[in-house]
A and B are shown apart, each in its own frame.
Chain A
Amino acid sequence: MPAIYKVSYVVIGEEHPGAILNTDKEPRVNELVRIGDRQFRVVEVQELIPPHGDFHFLHASLKAP
């Protein structure tokens, strides 16, 4: 099975709860990400927990573009 990236998205600089969701593509800095009806830019990506099986556990910081 292809890798699944479970990502904790944290929005910085504003009151937003962030999101946890799975993607089939590793998030990259400067990419745009849509959460609900908002779009954000990825400013940082780091491993939150070591990968296990098919899953990678990442944290990504987001900012409004």
Chain B
Amino acid sequence: METEAHVAAPPTAAILGPAVPPESLRDWISPQDAVECLYRAQAGAAAGAMSEILDVLRQAALFDGLSPQELEAIAGLCRPRSFASGEIITTQGEQGDELYIVGQGFVEVTLVNPEGGEPRSVVQLGPGQLVGEMALLDRGPRSATVRALTDGALVQTVQRGAFLELCQSQPHLGYIVMRNMAVDLAFKLRHRMLTGR
């Protein structure tokens, strides 16, 4: 584990030994300090990760209107996932219970061509955009296939169960997010009408 590599285990004498350790042991970190360092490192890493997630969420219209505390509650549900270029995120027709928020890079949404042939690309989505919200809301199969267009495309994933539970337990948060999700779907529909695809 990474943490084990950073904090050397002190010799037994440093744990059980005299109040003033012998000369050879003075350079060792005490067990208490080691534990504190470990906690600080873990807390620092967690705070950094949380800060990155919050940056992504602030760029997403889905969460516009939430208080900082509500945004942190959403961030607590997010799990980052990275995709290589061409890697599939969702597959049309399959069941899915995750919502995705694009954090970095681009993804492409494609639909199966009912007349056969190559799937049809309907839109490319950049940072701040949502993927998978339809299946999250209606529990139906995925409406499209989504793949990463760029290497290292980073998305934040949110599980449906935890997300809906949070929306239900915090009505203001739930109302704002559901309203914004409806706006997002309307925006995508308008885009699609304009492209004629």
Contacts and interface: CB of A to CB of B under 8 A. Distances in A.
Interface in A1-54: 1, 4, 6, 8, 10-11, 17-22, 35-36, 48-49, 52-54
A63 interface: no
Question: Taking chain A's interface residues, is the majority helix, strand, or loop, or is none over half, making it mixed?
Answer: strand
Given A35-B124, A36-B124, A20 B64 contact: no
Report the contact-size class of chain B (Cβ under 8 Å from the partner).
Answer: 20 to 34
B125 A10 contact: no
Contacts of A20: 123-126, 129, 187-188, 191
A4 B59 contact: yes
Nearest to A22: B128
Interface in B80-135: 106, 108-109, 121-129
Given A18-B195, A20-B129, A4 B61 contact: yes
A21 B127 CA distance: 6
Contacts of B190: 8, 48-49, 59
Contacts of B26: none
A6 B190 CA distance: 13
A35 B123 CA distance: 11
B106 A18 contact: no
B194 interface: yes
A18 B191 CA distance: 9
A35 B121 CA distance: 14
B195 A22 contact: no
B25 interface: no
Contacts of B149: 36
Given A20-B125, A22-B127, A49 B191 contact: no
Contacts of A11: 195
Contact of A8 (B58, B106, B127, B187): B187
Contacts of A59: 190-191, 194
B59 A22 contact: yes
Interface of A: 1, 4, 6, 8, 10-11, 17-22, 35-36, 48-49, 52-55, 57, 59
